[in-house]
């Protein structure tokens, strides 16, 4: 069965339907350069309402495992790939990617020249696109309304243990591995929604606050900014990706939409305090305006080497810091996982350490 991918600029790609064969969707078309980790990527809630193009040409070759999901199901709207592996092998594989997509009612298209598609996105920037069962009349497509960003909330529970550190995690669409890392570093984690007030968080008696990743434009979360301003006065605070952008906005910096974003697992980031470079996992379409940070109490601690985007912030004198990249990886390199232990250290010393 054929499937049609039509871009906002009128370009159309024809391929083979995979996953949910009949479903048609619209979404924001983005690309990721990750060579592995398709399951983690597809289940990352930050991809909600996005159509993910994999630039790596062979997807699905090691199947789907019971241990890689970042949320209960596929969060992305659809998937675009060059070749869906017909032979699957991995000792942990419990189903094929095609079966996983079908089970999750997520459509996909295979047989697309993803290299050409990526070059188009890179030139024009991120675009809206439609995945349909029939060729689309592109004149009507341009009038398509923009896609609303819906925040899906995930909930996790963690049994009480004897460790004293209690992290309240504000869930904007958290990846499971962030919770896993906090638990592995000995924290008790309580997950709250962005509707939480400062008083309701305070009543939980946290030792530290984590602002999670999540989908959408950070400027849509203005209601929560006053809460962040209060939280940073009282608790060690760590922001990841969307959480980093919100920390910036809460302190008066600006954010902007990038041309085509950073999605991949080999983004080099330089720590401006130590000159160290690490390779990071990234997934963001917005970024903090680096020049606007100088108008705030915050300090830029890290930049992406290729395009100099703001990758890290800290609040001098306070145990408050954030990163644009994903220290929890999933997928990606683990070079930044020590940020979790540093966060734990901040809670233990109640603010004695400064972070990069
Ligand atoms: N992974 C994230 O938290 C993404 C943050 C934000 N939605 C962006 O695209 O920039």
**Helix, strand, or coil (residue 66):** coil
**Helix, strand, or coil (residue 197):** coil
In CATH, which of 3.40.50.970, 3.40.228.10, 3.30.750.24, 3.50.30.20 is domain 2-132? 3.50.30.20
pLDDT at position 140 over 80: no
Q: How far apart are CA 258 and CA 59, in angstroms?
A: 26
Measure 87 CA to ligand 1 centroid, in angstroms: 33
pLDDT at position 326 over 60: yes
* 213, 243, 330, best to mutate for ligand 1 pocket (most atoms within 8 Å of CB): 213
Active site residues: 241, 326, 328
Q: How far apart are CA 344 and CA 356, in angstroms?
A: 14
User: What is the structure's pLDDT at 137?
Assistant: 78
ipTM of the complex in this document: 0.97
Q: What is the DSSP code string of 4-57? A: EEEETTS-EEEEEEEESSS--EEEEEEEE--SS-HHHHHT-GGGBTEEEEE-SS
pLDDT at position 293 over 70: yes
User: Would you state the torsion angle of the CA atoms of residues 257, 287, 336, 334, taken in this order, to the nearest 10 degrees?
Assistant: 0
* 286, 309, 310, 325, best to mutate for ligand 1 pocket (most atoms within 8 Å of CB): 286
Q: What percent of the chain shows pLDDT beyond 90?
A: 89
Q: Looking only at Cα atoms, what is the longest distance across the chain?
A: 62
Distance from the first to the final alpha carbon of the chain: 51
Cβ–Cβ under 8 Å, residues 151 and 172: yes
Measure 161 CA to ligand 1 centroid, in angstroms: 32
Indicate which atom in ligand 1 lies nearest the CA of residue 286.
10
Q: Which two tokens stand for residue 38?
A: 């398709």
pLDDT at position 118 over 70: yes
- 352 vs 289 pLDDT, higher one: 289
Tens of pLDDT, residues 295-317: 999 999 999 999 999 999 999 99
Cβ–Cβ under 8 Å, residues 243 and 212: yes
Specify whether domain 166-349 bears CATH 3.40.50.880.
yes
Residue whose token pair is 């940020």: 339
Tens of pLDDT, residues 27-60: 999 999 999 999 999 999 999 999 999 999 999 9
Q: Which two tokens stand for residue 116?
A: 């050409």
Count Cβ atoms below 10 Å from residue 103 Cβ, excluding itself. 14
Q: Which two tokens stand for residue 286?
A: 């917005």
Burial track 208-237 (b if 16+ CB lie within 10 A, e otherwise): bbbbbbbbbebeebeebbebbeebbeebbb
Measure 231 CA to ligand 1 centroid, in angstroms: 21
User: What is the structure's pLDDT at 348?
Assistant: 73
242 labeled part of a ligand binding site: yes
Return the residue whose CA atom lies nearest to atom 3 of ligand 1: 213
**Helix, strand, or coil (residue 178):** helix
User: What is the structure's pLDDT at 344?
Assistant: 94
Is the overall model pTM greater than 0.95, yes or no?
no
Which pLDDT band holds residue 349 (cuts at 50, 70, 90)? Answer: low
Cβ–Cβ under 8 Å, residues 302 and 312: yes
The arithmetic mean of pLDDT across residues 187-205, rounded, is 97
212 labeled part of a ligand binding site: no
- Residue-range domain boundaries for the chain: 2-132, 166-349
């Amino acid at each position: 069965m054929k499937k049609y991918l039509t871009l906002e600029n009128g370009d159309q790609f024809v391929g083979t339907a995979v996953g949910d064969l009949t479903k048609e969707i619209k979404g924001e078309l983005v690309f990721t350069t990750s060579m592995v980790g398709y399951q983690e990527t597809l289940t990352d809630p930050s991809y909600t309402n996005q159509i993910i193009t994999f630039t790596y040409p062979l997807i699905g070759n090691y199947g789907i495992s019971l241990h890689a999901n970042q949320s209960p199901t596929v969060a992305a709207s659809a998937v675009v790939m060059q070749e869906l592996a017909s032979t699957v092998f991995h000792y942990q594989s419990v189903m094929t990617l095609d079966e996983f997509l079908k089970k999750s009612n997520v459509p996909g298209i295979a047989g697309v020249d993803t290299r050409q598609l990526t070059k188009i996105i890179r030139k024009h920037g991120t675009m809206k696109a439609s995945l349909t069962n029939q060729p689309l009349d592109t004149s009507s497509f341009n009038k398509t309304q923009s896609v609303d960003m819906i925040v899906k909330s995930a909930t996790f529970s963690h049994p009480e243990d004897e460790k004293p550190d209690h992290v309240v995690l504000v869930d904007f669409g958290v990846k499971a591995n962030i919770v896993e890392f906090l638990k592995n570093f000995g924290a008790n984690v309580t997950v709250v929604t962005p509707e939480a007030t400062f008083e309701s968080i305070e009543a939980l008696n946290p030792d530290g606050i984590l602002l999670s990743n999540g989908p959408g434009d950070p400027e849509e979360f203005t209601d929560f900014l006053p809460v962040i301003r209060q939280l940073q006065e009282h608790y060690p605070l760590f922001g990841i990706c969307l959480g980093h952008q919100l920390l910036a906005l809460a302190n008066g910096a600006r954010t902007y939409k990038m041309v085509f974003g950073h999605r991949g697992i080999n983004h080099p980031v330089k720590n401006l305090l130590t000159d160290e470079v690490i390779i990071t996992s990234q997934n963001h379409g917005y970024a903090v305006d680096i020049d606007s940070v100088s108008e705030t109490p915050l300090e830029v601690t890290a930049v992406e080497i290729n395009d100099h985007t703001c990758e890290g912030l800290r609040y001098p004198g306070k145990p408050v810091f954030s990163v644009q990249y994903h220290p929890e990886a999933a997928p990606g390199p683990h070079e930044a996982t020590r940020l979790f232990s540093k966060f734990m250290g901040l809670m233990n010393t109640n603010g004695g350490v400064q972070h990069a």
